[in-house]
Structure 1
Amino acid sequence: MNSLFELIDFDDIETKKPEADKSAPGENHSADEIAIIGAAVKLPRADNLRELWNNLLFGISACSDFPDQRYRDIENWFKCRNIRLTPQMFKKGNYLTDIDKFDYDFFGLSADDANMMDPLHRLLLETFWNCLEDGGYCMQKVSGTCTGIYVGFNNDDIERYSRMLQEKRVRFTMATMENNLSSILASRLSYLLNLKGPAMLIDTACSSSLCALHIACQGLKNEDCEMALVGGINIGMVPIKYEGFRVESESDTLSPFDDSADGTVWGEGVVSLLLKPLRYAVRDRDHVYAVIISSAINQDGMSVGISAPNAVAQRNVMVNAWEKAGINPEEISYMEAHGTGTKLGDVIEMEGIRQAFERYTDRKQFCGIGSVKANIGHIEGASGLAGVVKLMLSLQNRVIPKTIAFNRPNHSIAFEDSPVFLVDRLTPWESTGGRRTCGISSFGLSGTNCHAVLREFSKDAPVSPEPAESAPYLLAVSAKSAYSFQQLLRAYAELLVENPAIDLESMCYTAGYGRDHHRYRAAFVFTQKRELLDALKSAWNGDAARFDTNGLLRSEEKEALDREADRLVLDASQKRGGECHQSYLDISRLYCRGAAVNWKLLYKNRAVKTLSLPVYPFERHRCWI
């Protein structure tokens, strides 16, 4: 086992831009099918997909009191207004605890700029970055591409961070204004990564993020963009209780479709998905979580009230999506409902579902239904994407988590005479012969409704040939700070423990070609998983060999390193098995000295694919005014 470490005194390594893949798109996939190839979340009690899935499996509610630190921050703000607050004035809810934390160094910002930036911008930046990495994409690969960004955000909170800055008499500059504009939520990452696709904000109230997903899918089909990042975000800066808002639960429990349901409970969170046409995702060997086979959007029009739900409009948007998908609705075995836990909303939604299914079938109780809002609350404009994440994780694991806080069916809903049943226990997701298919609905207070149909992804991938016993692997790990570097080493060790059958060569391919390479670096040459695991543990304990360049590399030194790395990579790409061992050692030494490695060439003609690997662990600096 060989492990090499180095601290290089420059922040970013420029590598050659890989050529676009000109090969034919994947066969047998409709041009309308959109793959979800990356995902990231920051939700109450769940900073990542794994934590969210565990919470869903174990039926955990994230509802809590308003976090103490956030209360102190708001209390200090309201002193500027001569208003005295008490903790009892704040609602229970599903809160994020550290909206004041941000890794400004990573994004090339100063502490002062970060302090003046709305937490919405900071949280969305980090989540989008993690989403890209989860999909195996990095700045190196996406810069200059026609990648779109679509953000769903309910922009109605008058107690914004910008208002706090003004009331604390902070001097406003052009940069301060830019750091607090909602319209820049989408375009900030486009600017940072030089993305050329559309960047837009969608606000339809509660349905904003699912509508953003629908518009992103249309953009991909119309070739407005090659890939699309879709995000949803909601933060309640000052969640003070107000009398007379009848949709809120007095019991502080969100109980979708339950007879005791007395209203909704608000939540916070950030969700991001990376989308790509399925035929290109298959061609490029991307990791696919699930496939969006259709989506539809409509409006209530004139109804009982402008904010009142409309069963006929909800029925129509579902029917439209199913017709677009060209499916028999009896194939749908689970529906992620809007499910806000309100007396009126739940009953009307179930009526719309019944009417939609009964256009095609008279079967009863063949489709499960549930709502993630029972676990994480109603995160308003981001709620639709949260439901999509629940669906894609359920499809991957072939298990449907139970909807918590359900004890007795709403007496106004005749489940026994309905096409659906409430999933009230952890349920294996059985296949009925074809691929598992599901739907998700999101209905906005604005009257704008959206429905999407998802299907599991399965294809007969070519079996990777068993490597020779002595065949080496080369894993590269890097970060911009010592803290993040140590956290990343630990994350890779945990990955190996939790995934004993992981494809090691694909892991190394993704870590090399799917990540940017930063100042702190490690390279591991190994032949067995146990060997790598031991080296990672030694590395984060500081027991590995270290190398120091003693300052900045001069340009001629960097060019010489890059040329030598290119030569070694070309040589290694033409070898197999144990023949690569010395080449990998030489490449790893050059990598740790700052050389740019052509990872794509290194794995040319290898049976590798993109895997979901640990994403960048950002440092947690407090950024507040």
Structure 2
Amino acid sequence: VLFAGGIHDERSAAMAVAAAAPLAERGARIGVLMGTAYLFTEEAVAAGAVTPRFQRAALECADTVLLHTAPGHATRCADTPYARTFEETRQRLARGGTEPREMWEELERLNLGRLRIASKGLRRGESAELEAVDEERQYADGLFMLGQAATLRGGTTTVAALHGQVTEGATRLLERRAAELAAADAGERACGPAADPLDVAIVGMACAYPGAPDLAAFWAQVLAGRDAVTEVPAERWDPALYYDTDPARAGERTPSRWGGFLDPVPFDALAHGIPPSSLAGIEPVQLLALEISARALRDAGYGKQREFDRSRTSVVFGAEAGTELAGAYGLRALHPAYLGELPPALDEQLPRLTEDSFPGILANVIAGRVANRLDLGGANCTVDAACASSLAALDLACRQLRDGDSDMVLCGGADVHNGINDYLLFASVRALSPGGRCRPFDSAADGIALGEGVGALVLKRLADAERDGDRVYAVIKAVGASSDGRSLGLTAPRPEGQRRALERAYARAGVSPSEVGLVEAHGTGTVVGDSTELGVLSAVFTEAGAGVGSCALGSVKSQLGHTKCAAGLAGLIKAARAVHTGVRPPTLHIDRPNPAWQAETSPFAFDTEARPWAVPVERRIAGVSAFGFGGTNYHAVLAGYAGAQEPEQGREDWPAELFCFRGEDRRAAGRAMARLAARLEENDAAGRPWALRDLAAEACAGGS
């Protein structure tokens, strides 16, 4: 068996040895073929195999190209003037409609004698005799045939030295590498798992959360410290029927009539290839996930104008089943068994099953519809880890990239479970705040306010993102996961489980908690949950040597409510924007911190307003937690990207803009103002799709 192609030094020969080992054990005789490597030997020039100019071309070679003459016929050579002439000729013939066979013959004739010019400096003259050419003509007209290995060598050698490299040198390299691996394995057994960062780039983001219909509005809301929790809208459920503060009725009634609710999100069904007549049979969470996923791809620069390998793009969403639409179908199906035939009024009100209904309520179709409508051919699945679902989706998405199964992943979290059934379920476990506010890490915290939302990320391997010139918001270094194991109950947090998730995340990231400047906590505002999480975080960070008050601690739930399956991603998007912009966002409703926090000793501080994160971007490191019922714990570690261009400002839109008007006279300027007033009315009527800055730019650009 002969191995050929790229063998030129110790490492390449060692790779061939490793590949050949199973064959050698079975008695096969192994050999190698080398070509390009010999071009760098002194003997190649001394013996006249090639001229000095050919060897210099090999030494100067920074890249190679393939010259295609016919299907299956290609020649690899240095990227020289002749190589470019060949390609221009090939394209000209193709554009001119030359028959394939005629084109192949002409390209072969063009190549004829070019290798002799390059290697010997000889060409056949008009008299058919060989004649010498000068080095300038040799380089311009010659075909310098060599392999890609030429780009990896930078100096000449001898045949003896080359043979030593690929024999004894390869053996020494393998022995040295085996010793290093053995030492590393011994160290790992002694010291625990070695750092193995994921290095997954976040190249696109999109979201819709309470009070924030898009990514820019979400970040602006976070920085402004606005609380989006409101009283329940009348169209969702009726507080007069279900609101009651009597603890004895918890589960039959709800002690809270507040929450974070999504504003209407525009959705163009036809643009997504969905017949409008089908919408009534599709759970809105599927449509929201599709819309936000499409936005995330556009944010990453992969809209309709930029091609990418859709067959290797996966979709992973965190979500749960049990939608309001499914409940309505269930009521229609079960009513006759319990109460007889449906009354006409109820029969008219409840939805009827159609061919769209079954897929329209399935949780797995949240991801499936995204993959279907966006024509993505990688894996697609929906994962349910309760309130940790979106970080569980992140974990699976990163594994898809790490294992090489996907080149891009759309990772999302979606939750619109803010119906009355959800309120009653949370009320039954005494989790809701009677005051209607999430107050994470405040001594007056008394429970959660429910929220809803959808978020999506576009993820790529960092090396691929760098290669493709993608904008990188942040780099995911690791995701740590754990279970609580056996404990007193399925809904109570357990410190040991949370600690395991944190320790695994930071060990894999190769990051000490003492380096972290921001923690976006699970932080639900429940008494037991907050004190448990704060105690675990404080212990882990203090043991790592974190300085007093060195890390900002907060929770976006203080502004949105608990968005459940979408909560982890809300925190991750907040942390990624903080890392990217260099702004540490505030956390709300902390008047008197939880007693588990001590200002004199705690590694954490609570920022009540946005502050500069004045460290180099690569040192902006954040941790994000999400925990779910059933004892599931996730913690993600992300860091700034050193190659990122610093944003000019911390937010994309400002609450005020300067409007400038110009005209030949006062009347012309007045007409410009009138046009702006009409445009503002149009913008308000359409839900403000145009940013204030764009309207200001339009006004400034307009003349009389």
Shift in alpha-carbon separation, 1:272–1:418, aligned structure 2, 3 A: same
1:290 is aligned, of 455, 471, 474, to 474
Contact 1:249 1:264 in 2 (8 A): yes
Aligned-residue offset at 1:142: 4.2
Is 1:36 equivalent to 2:202 in the alignment? yes
**Deviation at residue 117 of structure 1 after TM alignment:** 0.9
Q: Which runs of 5+ in 2 are unaligned?
A: 1-150, 152-195, 242-252, 334-348, 647-681
C-alpha displacement of 1:246: 1.1
Provide the residue aligned with 2:228 in structure 1: 62
After TM superposition, the structure 1 = structure 2 runs for residues 405-554 of structure 1, keeping only pairs within 5 Å, are 405-431=589-615, 435-459=619-643, 491=690, 494-495=693-694, 533-534=701-702
Q: Give the direction of change, closer, same or farther, for the CA distance of 1:422–1:143 in structure 2 (3 Å limit).
A: same
| Within-5 A mapping of 1:348-363 | 348-361=532-545, 363=547
| Partner of residue 188 from structure 1, selected from 365, 369, 379 | 369
After TM superposition, list the pairs within 5 Å mapping 1:163-202 onto structure 2.
163=329, 166=332, 168=349, 170-202=351-383
Structure 1 residues 413 and 460: alpha-carbon distance in aligned structure 2, compared to 1, 3 A threshold: closer
In 2 relative to 1, CA 217–534 (structure 1 residues): closer, same or farther, beyond 3 Å?
Answer: farther
1:298 & 1:64 partners in 2: Cα distance? 34
The alpha-carbon deviation at position 149 of structure 1 amounts to: 0.6
Describe the shift of the 1:487–1:284 C-alpha distance in structure 2 as closer, same or farther (beyond 3 A). Answer: farther
Taking the TM superposition and a 5 Å limit, the aligned residue runs for 1:87-106 are: 91-98=257-264, 102-106=267-271
Q: Deviations along 1:65-91, whole A, 9 cap, x unmatched?
A: 12234448x99xxxxxxxxxxx99972
The one-letter amino acid paired with 1:180 is: I
Task: Give the letter aligned to residue 48 of structure 1.
Answer: D
Question: What is the deviation of 1:494?
Answer: 3.9
Deviation at 1:209, TM superposition (A): 0.2
Task: Give a deviation string over 1:482-539, Cα, whole Å, max 9, x none.
Answer: x99x9899748945958xxxxxxxxxxxxxxxxxxxxxxxxxxxxxx999x549xx9x
- 1:134-283 aligned at under 5 Å gives the runs 134-139=299-304, 141-142=307-308, 144-156=310-322, 160=326, 163=329, 166=332, 168=349, 170-239=351-420, 242=424, 244-283=428-467
* C-alpha displacement of 1:256: 0.5
Give the whole-Å Cα distance in 1 for the aligned partners of 2:455 and 2:309: 22
Give the corresponding residue for 1:341: 525
1:106 aligns to what SS in structure 2?
A: helix
Is 1:114 the counterpart of 2:279 in the alignment? yes
Q: Is the 8 A contact 1:154 1:206 kept in 2?
A: no
Q: Classify 1:144/1:174 alpha carbon distance in 2 versus 1 (closer, same or farther; 3 Å).
A: same
Go from structure 1 to structure 2 and tell me whether the alpha carbon gap of 1:488 and 1:257 turns closer, same or farther (over 3 Å shift): closer
Q: Distance in 2 between matches of 1:433 and 1:191?
A: 37
TM-score, with structure 2 as normaliser? 0.58
Q: Aligned to 1:220, what secondary structure does the other structure show?
A: helix
Q: Give the C-alpha shift of residue 424 in structure 1.
A: 2.5
Structure 1 position 301, deviation (Å): 0.6
Q: Which amino acid aligns with 2:476?
A: I
Q: Which amino acid aligns with 1:107?
A: H
Structure exhibiting the larger radius of gyration computed from Cα positions:
2
Write the deviation string for residues 293-351 of structure 1: whole angstroms up to 9, x where unpaired: 11111111112322211112111211111111112322111111000001000000011
For residue 145 of structure 1, report the CA deviation from its aligned partner.
2.5
> Structure 1 unaligned runs (5+)?
1-23, 25-29, 76-86, 463-482, 499-528, 539-625
Query: Whole-Å Cα distance in 2 between the matches of residues 372 and 66 of structure 1?
Result: 20
Report the alpha carbon displacement of residue 373 of structure 1 after superposing the two structures with TM: 0.4
Letter of the 1:429 partner, please give it: W
2:202 maps to amino acid: I
Please give the alpha-carbon distance, in whole angstroms, between the structure 2 residues aligned to 1:305 and 1:48: 38
> Alignment RMSD, CA only?
3.4
1:319 aligns with 2:500: no
Q: Secondary structure at the match of 1:68?
A: coil
Deviates more, 1:451-460 or 1:332-341: 451-460
What's the CA shift string for 1:119-143, capped at 9, x where partnerless? 1111111111111111111356246
For 2:200, give the aligned amino acid. I
2:583 corresponds in structure 1 to 399
Secondary structure in structure 1 of the residue aligned to 2:412: strand
Shift of 1:194: 2.3
Matches of 1:348 and 1:490, distance apart in 2 = 43
Q: Is 1:364 the counterpart of 2:543 in the alignment? A: no
CA distance in 1, matches of 2:489, 2:451: 25
Amino acid in structure 2 at the alignment position of 1:45: G
Q: Of Structure 1 and Structure 2, which has the larger fraction of its residues in helix? A: 2
Give the Cα separation in 1 of the matches to 2:287 and 2:368.
13
Query: Residues of 2 paired with 1:405 and 1:460: CA distance?
Result: 33
In 1, are the aligned partners of 2:473 and 2:644 still within 8 Å (CA)?
Answer: no
Q: 2:566 aligns with which of 382, 389, 392?
A: 382
Question: Would you say the 8 A contact 1:154–1:380 is kept in 2?
Answer: no
CA distance in 2, matches of 1:90, 1:408: 23
Query: What is the rounded CA distance, in whole Å, between the counterparts of 1:456 and 1:358 in structure 2?
Result: 23
Greater Cα shift, 327-336 or 221-230:
327-336
Q: TM-score, normalised by structure 1?
A: 0.65
- Cα distance between partner residues in 1 of 2:617 and 2:376: 41
Aligned AA for 2:568? G
The 2-side partners of 1:44 and 1:490 are apart by 17
Is 1:49 aligned to residue 215 of structure 2? yes
How far apart in 1 are the matches of 2:200 and 2:359? 33
Are residues 34 and 57 of structure 1, via their aligned partners in 2, closer, same or farther at CA, if it must alter by over 3 Å? same
Partner deviation per Cα, 1:411-433 (whole Å, 9 max, x = no partner): 24334322222222322212179
Q: How far, CA to CA, are the matches of 1:443 and 1:331 in structure 2? A: 23
Q: 1:329 to 1:162 in 2, by over 3 A?
A: same
- Secondary structure class of the residue paired with 2:487: coil
* Distance of 2:351 and 2:474 partners within structure 1: 46
Determine what percentage of the aligned residue pairs are the same residue: 32
- Number of residue pairs aligned between Structure 1 and Structure 2: 445
> For 1:489 and 1:347, how far apart are their aligned partners in 2?
42
Change (3 A) 1:247 1:159: farther
Distance 2:433 2:689 in 1: 42
1:178, CA displacement in angstroms? 1.4
Amino acid of the structure 1 residue aligned with 2:233: P
Which one-letter code corresponds to 2:400 in the other structure? G
Amino acid at match of 2:408: M
Q: 2:297 aligns with which of 116, 132, 135?
A: 132
Higher relative contact order (CA 8 A, sep 6+): 1
Measure the CA separation in 1 of the matches of 2:541 and 2:515.
Answer: 11
Q: Distance in 1 between matches of 2:270 and 2:545?
A: 57
Structure 1 residues 165, 195: CA separation in 2 closer, same or farther (over 3 Å shift)?
A: farther
In the superposition, relative to structure 1, how do residues 244 and 492 fare at CA in structure 2: closer, same or farther (>3 Å)? Answer: closer
Alpha-carbon contact 1:161-1:180 (below 8 Å) kept = no
Cα 1:35/1:165, change in 2 over 3 Å:
farther
For the 8 Å contact 1:438–1:454, the answer to whether it is kept is yes
- Give the conservation status (yes or no) of the 8 Å contact 1:337–1:440: yes
State how far apart, in whole Å, the 1-side matches of 2:197 and 2:439 are: 39
Secondary structure of the corresponding residue to residue 123 of structure 1: helix
Aligned counterparts, 1:608-623, within 5 A: none
